[in-house]
Amino acid sequence: MLERLDSMLFKEFRQLRRDRWLLMRLVLPLVVQLFLFGYAATFTVHDVATAVLDQDASQASRALVSRFVASGRFRLVAAPADQAQLKRDIDDGSAVVGIVVPVGFQRALQGQGPAPLQVVVDGTNSNTALIAAGYVGQIVSAYSAQAAAALQRPHAPAHEAGVNIELEPRPWFNPGLLDTWFFIPGVIGSLTLLQVVTMTAFAIVREREVGTLEQIMVSPITPLEFILGKTLPSFVIGSATISLVTVLGTLWFGIPFVGSLAVMAVGAALFLLATIGLGLLLSTFSRTQQQAFALNFFFVNPFFILSGFAFPIAAMPRLLQWFTLINPLRYFLVVIRAVFLKGVGFAVLWPQLGALAGLAAAMLLLSVLRFRASLQS
């Protein structure tokens, strides 16, 4: 088996070497799109998952929290019991914003002193963080204005007297709220998906069109070995792509890499296997390169849109949210942004890594089965 696989790999890499413009086609579009996204792209999101730690548990704190919920700008997803649980909610992506109402909040209001309110924002997505901080300011300002107006009313509730709230915004993981810190890690996954799926989608079709598929199939090589021979070169090229864009992102744009290379490598490997499996599967359904291109366009664009790169998945219709579960880019974006900016490890990212492993196994298995079926048709 190894000898036949070696021959298949030798053929693939030699065929790639004969294409003089291959390096240009693989590298130049990546670099151009990286700089376009890094400098020009910007998006606005409107759904903010929020965790509220109400340590005061008073009438005043509940009144303030109710304003956040009633505004429609914030969606209460968790009520952590302590700061450690709040940190975990933000680390694993369950919450984007954490609001901490400290003990003594109502007493401070009644005493006409400053009432501290801590707002913790996950700065991984700088656009969401900026919008969330603006919403917080608007809601607190409106609350303060109404409470101040209550001073003119007789028998006003004590908690509405002398309101003076001091906000302490603390963006985590992206203190400067820089767009590039959010976009560049996402670009790495998006460009890799586009390149790898496009490259592998033409793999079997090209062999069929030039007439070499029949010659390969009458050789001792098995369908599994043939798929492996198509997979490994794409895996090597995809790994080089991720490495290149990662280096450019960290060195040119100054994106911090605070996580583990091992976690990054495992996530990238599983993502590449899933995207290669998708490309090969599309290739088995195509008879010509035009058909492969059409299928590639039909799948890659929706995968990009439904990945969470530009638009929050939580804001999508329920049916589309279910469709994103089979999108490998959705999980890889969570992994790569968490590794780059949060520094979390396997203990937090195992659901995403497990989903990528399942998708990779399923797509590669379907590719082999579908390839066998296509040989008989």
Per-residue pLDDT of the chain (377 residues; tens, 9 = 90+): 666 666 666 666 666 666 655 556 556 666 666 665 555 444 545 568 899 999 988 888 888 889 888 887 888 999 998 999 999 998 888 888 899 988 888 777 766 667 788 888 888 777 677 778 888 888 888 777 766 555 444 454 544 444 556 667 778 888 877 778 888 888 888 888 888 888 888 877 777 777 676 666 666 777 677 777 777 888 888 898 889 888 888 888 888 888 899 999 999 999 999 999 898 888 888 777 777 777 777 788 788 888 888 777 877 788 888 988 999 999 999 999 999 988 889 999 999 999 999 999 999 888 888 877 766 65
Residue 173 phi, psi dihedral angles, 5° rounding: 75, -15
Of 197, 202, 209, residue with least CA distance to 235: 197
Q: Is the pTM of the predicted complex or chain greater than 0.75?
A: no
For the four alpha carbons of 256, 262, 266 and 269, in that order, the dihedral sign comes to: positive
Amino acid at 122: D
314-347: b or e for each residue (b if 16 or more CB lie within 10 Å)?
A: eebeeeeeeebebbbbbbbbbbbbbbbbbbbeee
Rounded distance between C-alpha atoms, residue 33 and residue 40, angstroms: 10
Q: What SS3 string covers the chain?
A: CHHHHHHHHHHHHHHHHHCCCHHHHHHHHHHHHHHHHHHHCCCCCCCEEEEEEECCCCHHHHHHHHHHHHCCCEEEEECCCCHHHHHHHHHCCCCCEEEEECCCHHHHHHCCCCEEEEEEEECCCHHHHHHHHHHHHHHHHHHHHHHHHHCCCCCCCHHHCCCCEEEEEEEECCCCCCHHHHHHHHHHHHHHHHHHHHHHHCHHHHHHHHCHHHHHHCCCCCHHHHHHHHHHHHHHHHHHHHHHHHHHHHHHCCCCCCCCHHHHHHHHHHHHHHHHHHHHHHHHCCCCHHHHHHHHHHHHHHHHHCCCCCCCHHHCCHHHHHHHHHCHHHHHHHHHHHHHHHCCCHHHHHHHHHHHHHHHHHHHHHHHHHHHHHHHC
Residue 277, CA atoms < 13 Å, CB-side half-sphere: 24
> What is the CATH superfamily name and number for domain 48-172?
abc type-2 transporter like domain (3.40.1710.10)
Which pLDDT value is given to residue 182? 80
- Sorted by where each begins, the domain ranges of the chain are 2-40+179-376, 48-172
Which pLDDT value is given to residue 153? 47
Residue given tokens 């088996």 in the structure block: 1
Which pLDDT value is given to residue 248? 85
Which pLDDT value is given to residue 6? 67
Structure-block tokens of residue 47: 């759904």
